[in-house]
């Protein structure tokens, strides 16, 4: 047997062992960690699943949730022959167990694709395997696979997004751009926060190729992409009288306004919310949760499109009328975004009966929580990588890192602007890409410093 063939077999066995290990980590966690995670948002997704059985069009173009994750749940139910059961019923949980198991398999598939991406950009096989084991064992990441939320699904879709980006670096054909657009649509339908992500990624393709033909293709598909959210919002306007993507974003912006006690004088043109916010601040102490406020002023407001349209207008006026306080609140939350871990999300560890198994998963949690400060290196590393790309001719490695950094920066900024809490949840979809960027960026920085020292000798 040749040395090359023997090495291939050995590396294949090692990779299979790693995948088996990360699967078993998930399996024993799912088996021992008690009930599935079904936070309040899970109900909102399931309501869309139920609506698809009676009114598919209004369920697809919904003023409350984009249809990507509800369609995923519905597809699993159809494939497994599971009936749409009342929420929280035993049949509901049986159906959701199949959804969670599928999310686990999709998470493993994402790790396999991420390994291929690492190898494709030239990361040594041994280093790639170590990183995949590091990512696959991240309990702050895989715990979301047992929740009825779109976080774990969007994590894998983002990895596929990066893979298609690499294909565009190889050759930016119309077919590949079309596939990239399709995945962008899927990502938007699963997580509307990624609505304009193509504008943060596609320009890198043009910068890399430095070709007028490629630049024109990129500009064409960016123009086409503009139609996607416009079509969705126009359908919402026609079907629901709401000129936006969904009300959840508007409520989240209200949450930032309330949580940071932002000035609201610019919102006087919307007296209903202006007066109620002032009254609530005067007579109640807790303004940290927008849902507390909305339930206080009108528990039925979630079905009142006219009022929620006023909320959209109120949010916009505050953002435009008090841009500096709003920006200051966003910057103030950056450390929380990068470091925060909501301990209620991993309460499954505490329900594990076996002391040894519980101690093992607690150790995993402690380790991954303790390394979060590493992510503070992201911004200086991104500036360094971007600057180097601008001064380097057609370097696929730097273009790849810039893509990872752009996606991460986009997610952090948009999540902070349209969020007010649960920052650990908001950052989950980009966590594998964030750590890959930080590790690779540190290595690139060290290599650059070494080269600079060598030249000066």
Burial of 217 (0-12, 13-18, 19+ CB in 10 A): buried
pLDDT at position 23 over 60: yes
> 342 and 365 in contact (C-beta within 8 Å)?
no
pLDDT at position 1 over 60: no
pLDDT at 99: 92
* Average pLDDT value for residue range 138-146: 89
Q: Which of 83-97, 123-137, 220-234 has the lowest mean pLDDT?
A: 83-97
Measured CA to CA, the distance from residue 187 to residue 192 in angstroms comes to 7
Q: Which of 110-124, 292-306, 428-442 has the lowest mean pLDDT?
A: 292-306
pLDDT at 238: 92
* Average pLDDT value for residue range 339-361: 76
pLDDT at 343: 52
* pTM of the predicted structure, to 2 decimals: 0.92
Burial of 318 (0-12, 13-18, 19+ CB in 10 A): buried
pLDDT band at 247 (very low <50, low <70, confident <90, very high): confident
Measured CA to CA, the distance from residue 362 to residue 434 in angstroms comes to 23
Measured CA to CA, the distance from residue 50 to residue 374 in angstroms comes to 42
Q: Which of 52-61, 89-98, 139-148, 154-163 has the highest mean pLDDT?
A: 154-163
pLDDT at 346: 62
Q: How far is CA 422 from CA 36, 119, 155, 196, 264, in A?
A: 18, 34, 17, 22, 24
Measured CA to CA, the distance from residue 80 to residue 111 in angstroms comes to 25
* Average pLDDT value for residue range 73-102: 87
Mean of pLDDT over the chain: 89
Which sign does the torsion angle of CA 158, 164, 169, 175 carry?
negative
The tokens for 346 are 């991993």
pLDDT at position 232 over 60: yes
pLDDT band at 373 (very low <50, low <70, confident <90, very high): very high
For 284-328, how does the pLDDT look when each residue is reduced to its tens digit (9 = 90+)?
Answer: 766 567 888 888 888 888 888 888 899 999 999 999 998 999 999
pLDDT at 377: 94
Longest Cα separation, the chain: 80
pLDDT at 127: 94
pLDDT at 4: 62
E strand or H helix that includes residue 121: none
Local structure of 147: helix, strand or coil: strand
Measured CA to CA, the distance from residue 229 to residue 196 in angstroms comes to 9
Q: Which of 241-245, 279-283, 288-292, 442-446 has the lowest mean pLDDT?
A: 288-292
pLDDT at 60: 93
pLDDT at position 108 over 90: yes
pLDDT at 412: 92
Measured CA to CA, the distance from residue 278 to residue 281 in angstroms comes to 5
Q: Which of 17-26, 392-401, 421-430 has the lowest mean pLDDT?
A: 421-430
Cβ neighbours around 11 below 10 Å, total: 14
The tokens for 328 are 């200051």
Top-confidence residue, 410 or 394:
410
* Average pLDDT value for residue range 337-354: 72
pLDDT at 115: 96
pLDDT at position 421 over 90: no
pLDDT at position 454 over 80: no
Q: How far is CA 79 from CA 43, 73, 83, 101, in A?
A: 21, 10, 11, 13
Which sign does the torsion angle of CA 224, 226, 229, 231 carry?
negative
pLDDT band at 455 (very low <50, low <70, confident <90, very high): confident
The tokens for 95 are 């159906």
The position carrying tokens 């920006």 is 327
Q: Distance between terminal CA atoms of the chain?
A: 46
Cβ burial 422-432 (10 Å sphere, 16+ → b, else e) = bbbbbbbbbbb
Cβ neighbours around 81 below 10 Å, total: 8
Q: Which of 111-115, 163-167, 362-366 has the lowest mean pLDDT?
A: 362-366
pLDDT at 6: 67
| % of the chain surpassing 90 pLDDT | 54
Cβ burial 253-262 (10 Å sphere, 16+ → b, else e) = bbbbbbbbeb
Local structure of 37: helix, strand or coil: strand
């Amino acid at each position: 047997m040749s040395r090359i063939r023997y090495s291939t077999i050995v590396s294949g066995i090692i990779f299979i062992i790693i995948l088996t290990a990360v699967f078993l980590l998930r399996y024993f966690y799912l088996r021992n960690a008690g009930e599935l995670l079904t936070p309040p948002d899970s109900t909102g997704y399931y309501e869309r699943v139920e609506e698809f059985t009676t009114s598919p069009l209004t369920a697809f173009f919904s003023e409350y949730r984009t249809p990507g994750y509800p369609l995923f749940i519905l597809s699993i139910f159809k494939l497994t022959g599971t009936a749409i059961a009342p929420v929280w019923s035993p049949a509901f949980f049986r159906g959701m167990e199949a959804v969670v198991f599928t999310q686990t398999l999709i998470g493993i598939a994402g790790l396999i694709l991420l390994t291929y991406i690492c190898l494709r950009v030239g990361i040594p096989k041994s280093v790639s395997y170590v990183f995949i084991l590091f990512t696959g064992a991240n309990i702050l990441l895989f715990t979301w696979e047992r929740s009825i939320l779109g976080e774990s699904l969007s994590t894998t879709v983002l990895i596929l997004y990066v893979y298609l980006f690499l294909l565009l670096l190889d050759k930016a054909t119309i077919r590949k751009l079309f596939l990239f657009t399709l995945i962008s649509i899927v990502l938007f339908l699963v997580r509307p926060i990624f609505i304009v992500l193509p504008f943060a990624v596609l320009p890198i393709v043009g910068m890399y190729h430095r070709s007028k033909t490629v630049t024109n293709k990129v500009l064409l598909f960016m123009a086409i992409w503009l139609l996607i959210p416009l079509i969705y919002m126009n359908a919402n306007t026609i079907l629901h009288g709401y000129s936006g993507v969904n009300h959840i974003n508007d409520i989240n912006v209200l949450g930032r306004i309330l949580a940071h006690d932002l000035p609201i004088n610019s919102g006087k043109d919307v007296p209903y919310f202006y007066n109620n916010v002032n009254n609530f601040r005067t007579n109640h102490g807790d303004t940290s949760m927008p849902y507390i406020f909305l339930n206080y002023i009108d528990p039925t407001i979630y079905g009142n499109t006219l009022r929620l349209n006023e909320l959209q207008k109120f949010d916009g006026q505050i953002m435009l009328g008090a841009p500096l306080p709003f920006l200051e609140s966003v910057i103030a939350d950056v450390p929380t975004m990068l470091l925060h871990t909501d301990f209620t999300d991993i309460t499954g560890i505490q329900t594990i009966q076996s002391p040894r198994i519980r101690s093992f998963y607690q150790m995993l949690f402690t380790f991954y929580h303790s390394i979060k400060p590493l992510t503070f290196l992201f911004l200086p590393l991104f500036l360094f990588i971007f600057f180097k790309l601008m001064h380097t001719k057609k370097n696929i490695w730097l273009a790849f890192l810039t893509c990872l950094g752009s996606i991460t920066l986009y997610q952090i900024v948009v999540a902070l602007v349209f969020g007010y809490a649960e920052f650990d949840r908001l950052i989950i979809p980009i966590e594998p890409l964030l750590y890959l960027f930080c590790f690779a960026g540190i290595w690139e920085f060290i290599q650059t410093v070494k080269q600079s020292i060598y030249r000066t000798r």
